[in-house]
Amino acid sequence: MKEIPTKVYDVIENVTELPSSPKILPKLLNVLNNPESTNWAMAEIISVDPALTTQLLRWSNSSFYGCSDKCIDIEAAINRIGTAEIYRLVGMSVSKQLASKPLEKYGLHAKEFWEESILTAIIMEVLAKKMSRDANAGYTTGLLNGIGKVVINNCPAIHYEQIFETIDKENLNLVDSENKVLGFNHAEAGGALLDRWDFQEDIYEAVLHQYNPLEAPKHKRAACMLNISKHLVSEMGYAPKNEHMKYKLDPSALRHLLLSQEDIEPLIEESQKRFDELKEQLMQV
């Protein structure tokens, strides 16, 4: 595992207003990956959070699912629409909390950050299925790929103006400028936080190595998948307009996964379709 600078953990300890909602995801993944788990086990985890429970019931009772009878508890909602769909709805709720306010230090509006996170999650899920990997883990990795930006944005001790000054003066990209000024970057901050929150290794290692996927010691495939997914989000137009902040594809990631450019177009089409369906679903709530 790449050694994460100690100062990253110091930053995490001093972050203000860091949402705790993502902590529920590794618990739910454990339930989903256990063939002996019941719907009640998942419902019990979710029901601890009243706000999340209310949001999920609202979504599951929306016209999108076309049911006239109302679900009155989470277990009923799970029985109706299934564990995988409930997990995606939990992810949507988590992403809305993460993107509840702009990331001012990065110049990102809340809507921009939410769209980028959700679309990355969708592409990761689609790609995971193509690669015969855990789709839920892929979705989670994509969803939380940018959580390190939330860490840095919410740390009062970090004055980000110097990052952009360094970008302009030395013509560096965002990650290299963060490394030079801060001594770490937002991918390292995200990987450290997910490790601290007990996410499974393939998730936090992929987030940590999203810019250098072949340096991931154990989970190169997951890191390569995230690198490609982030690039596709950029290609689809859901990325920062600033050239120095755009996500760059590592060509070796495609080679490592034995993917060609011809494999990419269907991924974009299916992911865009899923993303459009999701936005339609939200309009019906």
pLDDT of 219 reads: 95
For 163, counting Cβ atoms within 10 Å of its Cβ (0-12 exposed, 13-18 middle, 19+ buried), the class is buried
pLDDT of 65 reads: 78
Question: Cα–Cα distance between 6 and 80 in angstroms, integer?
Answer: 46
Residue 124 contacts residue 229 (beta carbons within 8 Å):
yes
pLDDT of 245 reads: 64
pLDDT of 118 reads: 94
- DSSP type of residue 35: T
Pick the CATH number of 6-19+100-283 from 3.30.565.10, 2.130.10.10, 3.20.20.70, 1.10.3210.10: 1.10.3210.10
Print the SS3 string covering 8-27. Answer: HHHHHHCCCCCCCHHHHHHH
pLDDT of 119 reads: 94
For 237, counting Cβ atoms within 10 Å of its Cβ (0-12 exposed, 13-18 middle, 19+ buried), the class is exposed
Any idea where the domains of the chain sit in the sequence?
6-19+100-283
pLDDT of 4 reads: 77
Q: What is the pTM of this model?
A: 0.91
Radius of gyration of the chain (CA): 19
pLDDT of 17 reads: 77
Residue 8 contacts residue 183 (beta carbons within 8 Å):
no
For residue 250, give the 3-state DSSP assignment.
Answer: coil
**Residue 104 CB coordination number (10 Å):** 11
pLDDT by residue for the chain (285 residues), tens only, comes to 456 777 888 888 878 777 777 889 999 999 999 989 999 999 999 998 888 888 889 888 888 877 778 888 899 999 888 998 899 889 988 888 888 889 999 988 999 999 999 999 999 999 999 999 999 999 999 999 999 999 999 988 888 899 989 988 998 889 999 999 999 999 999 999 999 899 999 999 999 999 999 999 999 999 999 999 999 998 888 866 665 566 778 889 999 999 988 888 899 999 999 999 888 877 765
